Structure 1
């Protein structure tokens, strides 16, 4: 697969995501979408009757779940992705201030300071990463049920189903937030964002200039 070149950084637009990051995000979104849709088809009777072919749906659900971590792991060779993962893993005083402003419903940009990623995005990334690992582990226990004690298998099923519902709700919220911010979507689609948007939504972020070519 050919990788699109990183977008140029200009006076009006700032480079936010590399080609590898955008590819990893899209591939993960597709796999997650397959997981959610197949899970719904397996657990909602009306949808299961409409879709049919339960064995095929089960197979798609299993393999898309197993492949879910692959895009991010494959993109770890990208320096930009590794740098962003480091930023997502750091929580500072400005993040606590951002969260307090959200709880107070204070929408003033000055009251919500953020670096490249705000506190909400950091919490979302951490939660989804943890949930994905738990879903993968419990899913494997359900897949190879004949090798797992009955008590463990019952617990894995309960955790897997409950966490799947919570994950679906969180993802719906994530998509809703993205739909309400066209510039954020443009940044993930093209790799660059408007300087004005960055200054308003991520006032502490100072993108590095493009290296000399």
Structure 2
């Protein structure tokens, strides 16, 4: 990363609580970044309203209007390059990312996931944790490599699972952790405390950066 503040784009599909956490961190001076763009595949999503209130430009689209995933990602890639985006931040973006974006932003695209990866990748991670009866789950921030939540881990935080937890109650415990951790990781990237070039190299499990 070469510029200050760090130029980022956030991809989201739903309510945008992690997007809002990033906005708040920027506004409060805890995150030395500039949100150049919100990308959203659901034009009516609440996150679009959040972006408007924050003064963040939003690119919305309907995937069905395009011939392929690659077609709309080419359009998105052109926007990212036009705005000089250095880091792509996936925050509840519910679309599969193809090689169009993964290759262009390899080592510069991150995601947050509500489990301690590699456990419980994919959809319904909180439900998976409960169904498996684990005592501890958590939050992971990782690089995106085109697989299913399989990229190198950058940071993790643990969350205790209580016997009476439901999917809703456990999610409510996980969300505040996400809202703290994601801006912290982005700031660490901006400061160079997390070296994405190093993290993007093939690693053994013991070599992963876990904070």
Do they superpose with TM above 0.5? no
TM-score using structure 1 length: 0.26
Higher relative contact order (CA 8 A, sep 6+): 1
Structure ranking higher in strand proportion: 2
Q: Which has the higher helix share?
A: 1
The structure that has the greater radius of gyration is 1
